[in-house]
């Protein structure tokens, strides 16, 4: 019987559970809002119920390889506990893994959500066939994941790959992590909105000022990006800052790891046209490893067009920085991939 796996993407706003076969075909997906306010036990109950539903539906045709769960936060791999998870209040220092395994009576793999997204893009997305890659997710926060030799880099206790908290401004904006000037404070959706408001407060908001007072349109990274596309200099400047911060961070990780590919996903990556030119400029200026391994290309500036998502990535030994292609499903596929990978290596 062929294998299938269940992948869970536990977000601060959405809980999504999928059944995926060993080839990466989605068999079924269940989406619910994560009712975080109803508490941890409620959310875990909802999750385990959905997992059981999918398992009983497909277990006559397939054998279950296992369950993988992507969670937003730092996971201590040794204890199966969440150490930091601002979007899941009350889940810190709670034995999440044991609790879920007890309810399901089957082994579960818990993974940081950005690591899961890295696995997903590596399996079915921009990084197909790439052995060594980094993933940066630009969402409410900035997440990161590193894959070396096809496996997620966990470090000593599962906390490696926190690329969002690399310092890009030594005396910069305070971050929730306790540091100041993390790239998350300049390249997340939250940061885009904050930087736009800062410009407005300084009287340099341009069209963004009108946008902020328009009750019909949400003042969001997306609507600010739309202004940048229309050529508003103030909005363009916000994304210049995003690109600069990302470029500084990317230069550091490229120098440190010399990976083949770096995939940038998450909602803010949709603003690629607005931040990528500055990002590439900074990376090239600041990373000797990048300068030595990446001749400037047109694709560099335009990233994964719709066409690229169907092309295999270039195979020559070049550093490639590109857009993710799986969108918000990357983490869901990646979570499902984890038990399948374990099965392959077992
Ligand atoms: Zn931080």
| Full DSSP string of 213-246 | H-TTS--SHHHHHHHHHTT-HHHHHHHHHHHHHH
Beta bridge partners of 20: 5, 26
Beta bridge partners of 76: 81
Cα 129 to ligand 1 centroid, rounded to whole Å: 31
Least reliable range by pLDDT among 39-43, 92-96, 294-298, 325-329: 294-298
What whole-number distance in Å separates Cα of residue 89 and Cα of residue 96?
A: 13
Cα 183 to ligand 1 centroid, rounded to whole Å: 7
Cα 272 to ligand 1 centroid, rounded to whole Å: 23
Q: Is the per-residue pLDDT at 310 higher than 50?
A: no
Percentage with pLDDT > 70 across the chain: 94
Which band of pLDDT confidence, cut at 50, 70 and 90, is reported for residue 221? very high
- The answer to whether 141 and 101 have CB atoms below 8 angstroms apart is no
What is the CA angle 24-25-29, rounded to 5? 110
Q: Is the per-residue pLDDT at 315 higher than 50?
A: yes
Cα 178 to ligand 1 centroid, rounded to whole Å: 6
The total of other beta-carbon atoms located within 10 Å of residue 95's CB is 13
Q: Is the per-residue pLDDT at 313 higher than 60?
A: no
Cα 67 to ligand 1 centroid, rounded to whole Å: 30
Report, as an integer, the average pLDDT of 137-141: 93
Cα 140 to ligand 1 centroid, rounded to whole Å: 13
Could you tell me the strand order of the sheet in which 151-152 lies? 151-152, 142-148, 133-138, 261-265, 320-323
Cα 87 to ligand 1 centroid, rounded to whole Å: 14
Cα 55 to ligand 1 centroid, rounded to whole Å: 38
Cα 166 to ligand 1 centroid, rounded to whole Å: 7
Report, as an integer, the average pLDDT of 35-50: 87
pLDDT confidence of residue 304? 53
Which band of pLDDT confidence, cut at 50, 70 and 90, is reported for residue 308? very low
Least reliable range by pLDDT among 152-161, 200-209, 259-268, 299-308: 299-308
pLDDT confidence of residue 302? 62
Cα 264 to ligand 1 centroid, rounded to whole Å: 18
pLDDT confidence of residue 309? 44
- The answer to whether 16 and 72 have CB atoms below 8 angstroms apart is no
Cα 92 to ligand 1 centroid, rounded to whole Å: 17
* Residue partners of 330: CB distance under 8 A and separation at least 6: 116, 117, 118, 120, 121, 125, 135, 265, 324
What's the whole-number average pLDDT of the chain?
A: 91
Residue 158, both tokens: 């599962």
- The answer to whether 15 and 46 have CB atoms below 8 angstroms apart is yes
Secondary structure (3-state) at 68 = strand
The 10s digit of each residue's pLDDT in 187-214 is 999 999 999 999 999 999 999 999 999 9
pLDDT confidence of residue 249? 98
pLDDT confidence of residue 299? 58
Phi, psi of 274 (to 5 degrees): -85, -30
More confident residue, 158 or 228: 228
Cα 265 to ligand 1 centroid, rounded to whole Å: 19
Which band of pLDDT confidence, cut at 50, 70 and 90, is reported for residue 56? very high
Cα 306 to ligand 1 centroid, rounded to whole Å: 33
Q: Is the per-residue pLDDT at 250 higher than 90?
A: yes
Which band of pLDDT confidence, cut at 50, 70 and 90, is reported for residue 306? very low
Least reliable range by pLDDT among 105-119, 234-248, 301-315: 301-315
CA atoms within 13 A on the CB side of 12: 11
Q: Is the per-residue pLDDT at 150 higher than 50?
A: yes
Distance of CA 277 to the CA centre of its chain: 21
- The residue written with tokens 């926190």 in the block is 162
What whole-number distance in Å separates Cα of residue 259 and Cα of residue 262?
A: 7
Cα 295 to ligand 1 centroid, rounded to whole Å: 32
Q: Which of 272, 242, 3, 266 is nearest to 136 (CA)?
A: 266
Secondary structure (3-state) at 303 = coil
């Amino acid at each position: 019987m062929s294998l299938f796996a269940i992948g869970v993407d536990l977000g601060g706003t959405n809980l999504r559970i999928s059944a995926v076969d060993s080839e990466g075909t989605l068999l079924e997906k269940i989406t619910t809002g994560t009712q975080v306010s109803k508490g941890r036990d409620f959310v875990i109950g909802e999750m385990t119920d959905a997992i059981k539903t999918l398992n009983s539906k497909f277990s006559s045709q397939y054998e279950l390889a296992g369950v993988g769960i992507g969670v937003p936060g730092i996971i201590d791999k040794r204890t199966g506990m969440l150490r930091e998870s601002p979007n899941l209040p009350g889940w810190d220092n709670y034995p999440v893994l044991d609790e879920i395994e007890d309810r399901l009576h089957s082994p579960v793999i818990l993974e940081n959500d950005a690591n899961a997204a890295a696995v997903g893009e590596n399996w079915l997305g921009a990084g197909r066939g790439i052995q060594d890659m980094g993933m940066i997710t630009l969402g409410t926060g900035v997440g990161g994941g590193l894959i070396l030799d096809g496996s997620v880099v966990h470090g000593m206790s599962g906390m490696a790959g926190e690329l969002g908290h690399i310092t890009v401004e030594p005396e910069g904006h305070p971050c929730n992590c306790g540091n100041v000037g993390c790239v998350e404070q300049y390249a997340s959706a939250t940061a885009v909105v904050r930087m736009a408001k800062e410009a407005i407060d300084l009287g340099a908001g341009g069209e963004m000022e009108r946008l902020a007072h328009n009750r019909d349109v949400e003042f969001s990274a997306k609507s600010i990006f739309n202004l940048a596309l229309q050529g508003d200099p103030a909005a363009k400047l916000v994304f210049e800052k995003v690109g600069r911060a990302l470029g500084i961070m990317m230069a550091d990780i490229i120098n440190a790891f010399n990976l083949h590919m770096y995939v940038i996903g998450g909602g803010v990556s949709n603003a690629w046209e607005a931040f990528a030119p500055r990002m590439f400029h900074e990376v090239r200026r600041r990373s000797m490893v990048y300068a030595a391994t990446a001749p400037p290309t047109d694709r560099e500036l335009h990233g994964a067009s719709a066409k690229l998502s169907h092309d295999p990535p270039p195979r020559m030994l070049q550093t490639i920085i590109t857009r993710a292609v799986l969108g918000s499903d990357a983490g869901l596929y990646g979570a499902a991939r984890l038990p399948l990978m374990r099965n392959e290596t077992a």
